[in-house]
Amino acid sequence: MKLFNKLVDHAIDNLAKGEFLQNRILVSTYLKSYLSLNSDDFEIVKKDGSLVVNVHRSLLLKNLNKIPVKFNQIKGDLTIRDCFFENLMGVPEQINGKLNISDCQNLKSLEGGPLLVSDDFSVSNTSLETLQYFPKCLKDISIIKNSYLSSLQGIQQEVFGNFIINYQNNLKILEHCPQHIKGNFGLEKNGLESLLGMATYIGGNVFINGNCLINLKGCPDIIYESFYCTNNQLESLEGCPQKIMKSFSCANNPLKTLEYGPSMVGENYICSENQLVSLKGAPTVINGHFKARKNALNNLEFCPQIIKRGCDFSINPINTLLYFPSVIIGEVVFSNNKFFDLYNIDAIRTEFQDFLQLHLKEKSLLEQENILSTLDKDDEKTTEIKHKTKKL
């Protein structure tokens, strides 16, 4: 066996670029001795006049300078880790499982890689400069920490699961972005300056936190789950999706108003830690929590009038209860505000709460929605409570 190993080493050292071992004994020895495969784990066949290998299980390629055999198909997952080759020559054309490539610092191209990955495909911490030769992937795609990657050219236009492309420090624009993403879309900490070219359909959550965006031009009109655009440089919400079926957060930006923001948010709306001087642009109804803490608000003009799961206006210089929401179901927080320390805001909110419990008790969800939607219309108790707040 030692003799065969020496022969394999010699043969590998003498392979020219793009060549593979073509002796069955040497190929078999390499697979057993270097990749720890058993005889039942693989078969060596001829294809187009050359020897290729079919593997019947998952395979790990680690600490390799080159792939000296030509793989044809793998019936399992393929992991390539800590390797030193510049492309994927030798990798099978079809992987009936996951493909995970990580910590291959010399990898600059996907040339020679698979045509089809039946499960997830992830590539991280490489020197990829382009996505040319990208395989067709049938599930999730993750492209993380490839700091030389500046373009999405070559990626498939329909993603059948999640599409996560984070920490691409040289990715500034979304030209060639997939247009149809069935799962989540992650675009965090890429240095993005524009969303033009973004997907027109996204079936899951959208995460575009930690970029260099000043607006949201390029977003689709509807997001079917949640939308997060925190820690950018947003000066405007222009281009923001208008319907977000779950939660929305634009926290930690230099926004001064909420104009151009979503008109409908299905759950929570978070606009904390901006520079807001006005809530203009906020929806009139919030079905979850509304959080606008740590801004520059002097009043609550344009505040949502129905908030169904509590609100937080802490650390704002608010000095009046004018425009206070008509209905708040849940906790109201005004901490670190000297003005509100003078009034019993909890008592006012409790009076609202008692009124709602009386009217909503033993009602169907539809009936409750109808009651909540008409609270501003000619109700003596609501008018009385609102009058108390306006006196303040």
**pLDDT 10s digits, 58-93:** 999 999 988 889 999 999 999 999 999 999 999 998
Q: Rounded to whole angstroms, how far apart are CA atoms 306 and 100?
A: 48
Tell which of 149, 164, 190 closes a domain. Answer: 149
Tens digits of residue pLDDT in 21-42: 888 988 888 888 888 999 999 9
* 258 and 132 assigned to the same domain: no
* 236 and 364 assigned to the same domain: yes
Residue 252 within a domain: yes
Q: Is the pLDDT of residue 8 over 70?
A: no
- Cβ count within 10 A of residue 254: 12
Domain count, the chain: 2
* 113 and 30 assigned to the same domain: yes
Phi (first) and psi of residue 342, to 5 degrees:
-85, -15
Residues of the domain holding 312: 213-392
Residue 184 within a domain: no
Tens digits of residue pLDDT in 224-245: 999 999 999 999 999 999 999 9
Residue 162 within a domain: no
Q: Is the pLDDT of residue 322 over 80?
A: yes
* 344 and 265 assigned to the same domain: yes
* 134 and 236 assigned to the same domain: no
* 228 and 356 assigned to the same domain: yes
Record the pTM: 0.85
State the pLDDT at residue 25.
85
* 251 and 130 assigned to the same domain: no
* 220 and 297 assigned to the same domain: yes
